[in-house]
């Protein structure tokens, strides 16, 4: 376990090698599971404000869910999550060549909005959870990502390197640099 500021980082973030392989997994993390993507409370208002730019990129079913229920739902623990279409895929998913992609991120890439996507999606397969005075930063192991593990291992790319951009987005440059310094200490290798 690595401790930086008020975060406890699993050794898996250092040790697990991972590179998303969309060609193999087809974006399964956006369409599998028992709840939508975790949302931070402030992300709800951001998505609501950007909905007019995001909607044209969504599927008709996704639009219908969002128009009926709004841009968020609750998981079984009462946490904010994206709503699901047919209790299955994220309402913000669209498909391109059989691969599930994010309409929010597409709007960002087109320059229509300045919000990339929920931080939980950007960080995946890292999951964040609160523990009293600390935040736990853990690797979420899921068989749908086996191809990503193989690709990451072949390239020798650990999670903290693959997810540098979202880790900096979430915790800042100083936090990330402290993480790298800790990991690269000879006694931690």
* Per-residue model confidence as pLDDT tens digits over 120-166: 999 999 999 887 788 999 999 988 899 999 999 999 999 999 999 99
Name beta bridge partners: 137.
Answer: 9, 128
Tens of pLDDT, residue by residue over 39-84, are: 999 999 999 999 999 999 999 999 999 999 999 999 988 889 999 9
Domain boundaries, the chain: 1-18+125-189, 35-115
pTM: 0.88
């Amino acid at each position: 376990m690595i401790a930086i500021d008020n975060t406890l980082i699993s050794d898996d973030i250092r040790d697990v090698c991972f590179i998303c392989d969309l060609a193999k997994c087809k974006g399964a993390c956006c369409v599998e599971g028992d709840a939508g993507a975790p949302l931070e409370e402030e992300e709800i208002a951001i998505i609501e404000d950007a909905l007019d730019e995001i909607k044209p990129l969504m599927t008709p079913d996704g639009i219908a869910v969002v128009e009926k229920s709004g841009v968020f739902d609750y998981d079984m623990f009462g946490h904010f999550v994206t709503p699901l279409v047919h209790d299955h895929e994220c309402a913000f998913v669209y498909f391109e060549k059989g691969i599930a992609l994010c309409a929010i991120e597409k709007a960002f890439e087109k320059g229509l909005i300045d919000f990339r996507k929920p931080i939980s999606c950007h960080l995946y397969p890292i999951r964040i959870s609160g523990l009293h005075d600390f935040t736990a930063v853990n690797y979420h192991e899921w068989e749908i990502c086996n191809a990503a593990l193989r690709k990451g291992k072949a390239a020798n790319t650990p999670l903290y390197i693959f997810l540098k951009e979202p880790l900096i987005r979430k915790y800042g440059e100083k936090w990330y640099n402290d993480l790298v310094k800790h990991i690269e200490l000879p006694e931690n290798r």
